[in-house]
Amino acid sequence: MIGLTLAAAFQPDDGEEWLSQTWGFAKLILPLLLGGVLLAGFLLGRPGHEGIIPSEWVSAAVGGNSLASNFLAALAGAFMYFATLTEVPIVQGLLGSGMGKGPALALLLAGPALSLPSMLVIRSILGTQKTVVYCALVVVMATFTGVVFGTFYP
Amino acid sequence: MGTVATTETPAAAGGWLDRGKQALQRNPTEFKWLAGIIAVFLLVFFMPMGTARFDNAILEGLALLNWYAREHVMLCLVPAFFIAGAIAVFISQDAVMKYLGPEAHKTAAYGVASVSGSILAVCSCTVLPLFGGIYRRGAGLGPAVAFLYSGPAINVLAIVLTAKILGMELGVARAVGAVGFALVIGLLMQMIYRRDERARAASQKGFVVGVLLRAVARWAIPLRSSPCRSRCWYSPTGRRPAPRTARCGTRSLPGNGHSPRWRASVWPGCWSGAGSGNGNRWRRPSGSSPSSRGFFRSIPNWHSALA
């Protein structure tokens, strides 16, 4: 597939432009993404392992269904990097160690969509202000949804 | 370059403090270097190397990076970059604007954005280059953000897994929430930034009248008060530059309180309209630096109206 792409890319004119745009995106996105992954791993660790933030803190902070626990869950989800499908075992583990259902939903809604590396990349495309607004919107809406869900399905 | 009105500082009065401030104004980059070096030094001086938790965390960071590079970069990211590049080149701006642009039919735009988001992005990192591609090609902020959110969030597999492992209620709630969020957040972003979006749409459509006006204005305004001829740096979001960071010719750029569209019309080299920029750096108007060849061709957008 890569061979095909490269072959097509080296056609004159359009192909060259295509390659140039691709490279531009790569230059724009890769450093931020990889740096963000490194930082996320340092802070929160891989799924199942700890980073510098102890997991006891995390589960202590998100038990129950208070506004604070929902907010913290949404915030943690926003910063943490979740690969596809990995959020499910993580939430399972957290539910097991005392997380409420409301915060779990908040985590599920804010987690896969946002992560520290992706925030950095979006910032380079949209600008800091819009990125902050977007992240804040996601976190706030996830918090409220979590609270609502938690009150009906504790 | 810094043409703050020349206030003479009496040699002795104020002394080193004033001289320090002057030095700061004259060489901002040097001071930034110094601040950066000091910050990094303090960081590494005080980092608790040797404690188990910290060492483990460092290893975790590297382990995550290693896993990420192995699992995601070749299979997800590289194809995504190519696809995003293809979008930026091959899909005509009209097509994107027709379906996702600010004037497209609202429901259709958000519907298309959400659906394509969930189809195209299996890995949460693939959506980022695609988002960049369609955003630059003229998609409205709302649909683009809906696309951005829905990509990783509306993942059918993940939702099914959630329902199975964590319970039906969570699964259904997540599905409903994800879809709803994509739409609501897109709409809210569009609403909050509607003025920026209008300016961006205007600059990307390249109104002929606006172009002529800008061309006329560029020549009509005398050189001294048109600071952004060849030395002005502008930010891709179109909201600045402030004179110092922009290193423009004069201290006060007019239009700091004016609408983005007015600014774009008067200082075409400085503003390319909010959001139609091309990256994360201040840069000169297209064509004046070698690295801008080709890649930064979309700036300034009003050129395309003449082509």
Query: Does residue B190 have a pLDDT over 80?
Result: yes
pLDDT computed for residue B8 by the predictor = 52
pLDDT computed for residue B193 by the predictor = 85
pLDDT computed for residue B205 by the predictor = 59
Mean pLDDT of B281-288: 44
CB pairs under 8 A between A and B: 219
Length in residues, chain A: 154
Q: Given B60, B135, B161, which is nearest A49 (Cβ)?
A: B60
- Chain B closest CA to A153's CA: distance in Å? 8
Instruction: Tell me the H-state helices in B7-77.
Output: 16-26, 28-46, 52-68
Are A28 and B90 within 8 A, CB to CB? no
Give me the amino acid identity at B244: R
Q: Which of A114, A124, A116, A115 is nearest to A29 (CA)?
A: A124
Query: Does residue B39 have a pLDDT over 60?
Result: yes
B212: left (phi over 0), alpha (psi -120 to 50) or beta: alpha
Query: Does residue A67 have a pLDDT over 80?
Result: yes
Reply yes or no: is the peptide bond before residue B300 cis, omega within 30 of 0: yes
Give me the amino acid identity at B159: I
% of chain B beyond a pLDDT of 90: 3
pLDDT band at A139 (very low <50, low <70, confident <90, very high): very high
Query: Does residue B28 have a pLDDT over 50?
Result: yes
Helices A101-110/B168-192 angle, 10° precision: 50
pLDDT computed for residue B37 by the predictor = 93
Q: For the residues of B30-42, what is the DSSP string, one character each? A: HHHHHHHHHHHHH
Length in residues, chain B: 307
- The CA–CA distances, whole Å, from A65 to A106, B195, B210 equal 11, 38, 54
Lowest-pLDDT range, A93-97, A103-107, B87-91, B206-210?
B206-210
* More confident call, A145 vs B49: A145
pLDDT computed for residue B293 by the predictor = 38
Most B CBs within 10 Å, among A20, A25, A50, A91, to test the B interface: A25
Query: Does residue B277 have a pLDDT over 50?
Result: no
Most B CBs within 10 Å, among A6, A10, A21, to test the B interface: A21
pLDDT computed for residue A132 by the predictor = 93
Q: Which of B74, B163, B187 is nearest to B123 (CA)?
A: B74
Q: Which residues of B167-181 are buried (b: 16+ CB within 10 A; e: fewer)?
A: eeebbebbbebbbeb
Most B CBs within 10 Å, among A19, A23, A84, to test the B interface: A84
Query: Does residue B268 have a pLDDT over 70?
Result: no
pLDDT band at B14 (very low <50, low <70, confident <90, very high): low
Mean pLDDT of A36-55: 69
Please, are residues B136 and B276 in contact by the beta-carbon 8 Å criterion? Answer: yes
Mean pLDDT of A83-96: 74
Q: From CA A69, how far away is CA A75, in angstroms rounded?
A: 10
pLDDT band at B242 (very low <50, low <70, confident <90, very high): very low
Query: Does residue B16 have a pLDDT over 90?
Result: no
- At residue B162's C-alpha, the angle toward residues A66 and A134, to 5°, is 60
Are B78 and A2 within 8 A, CB to CB? yes
Chain A residue with the nearest C-alpha to that of B88:
A21
Q: What residues pair up with A63 in beta bridges, in sequence order? A: A99
Query: Does residue A79 have a pLDDT over 70?
Result: yes
Q: How many helices (H) and strands (E) are present in chain B, helices listed first?
A: 15, 0
Lowest-pLDDT range, A43-47, A73-77, B204-208?
B204-208
Please, what is the average pLDDT of chain B?
Answer: 66
Contacts of A154 (CB under 8 A, 6+ apart): A65, A100, A101, A102
Q: From CA B22, how far away is CA B93, in angstroms rounded?
A: 48
Are A29 and B188 within 8 A, CB to CB? no
Are B185 and A141 within 8 A, CB to CB? yes
* More confident call, B255 vs B52: B52
**Is A79 at the interface with chain B, CB within 8 A?**
no
Q: How many helices (H) and strands (E) are present in chain A, helices listed first?
A: 8, 0
- Chain A closest CA to B27's CA: distance in Å? 25
Mean pLDDT of B177-206: 80
Query: Does residue B68 have a pLDDT over 80?
Result: no
pLDDT computed for residue B217 by the predictor = 54
pLDDT computed for residue A1 by the predictor = 56
- Chain B closest CA to A19's CA: distance in Å? 7
Q: What residues pair up with B49 in beta bridges, in sequence order? A: B51
Mean pLDDT of B143-165: 81
pLDDT computed for residue B281 by the predictor = 42
Are A46 and B128 within 8 A, CB to CB? no
Query: Does residue B297 have a pLDDT over 50?
Result: no
* More confident call, B178 vs A5: B178
Please, are residues A16 and A55 in contact by the beta-carbon 8 Å criterion? Answer: no
Mean pLDDT of B34-40: 92
pLDDT band at A22 (very low <50, low <70, confident <90, very high): confident
pLDDT tens per residue across span A101-123: 888 899 889 988 888 888 888 88
Q: Given A5, A37, A134, which is nearest B65 (Cβ)?
A: A37
pLDDT tens per residue across span B83-142: 777 776 776 666 666 666 666 677 777 777 777 766 665 566 778 888 888 887 777 788
Q: Is A12 exposed, middle or buried (0-12, 13-18, 19+ CB in 10 A)?
A: exposed
Q: What residues pair up with A121 in beta bridges, in sequence order? A: none
Contacts of B40 (CB under 8 A, 6+ apart): none
Mean pLDDT of A17-43: 76
Mean pLDDT of B241-258: 42
Mean pLDDT of B52-68: 81
pLDDT computed for residue B211 by the predictor = 46
Q: From CA A43, how far away is CA A52, in angstroms rounded?
A: 5
Query: Does residue A93 have a pLDDT over 90?
Result: no
Side-chain-side CA neighbours of residue A137 (13 Å): 24
Mean pLDDT of A134-149: 91
pLDDT computed for residue A11 by the predictor = 67
pLDDT band at B250 (very low <50, low <70, confident <90, very high): very low
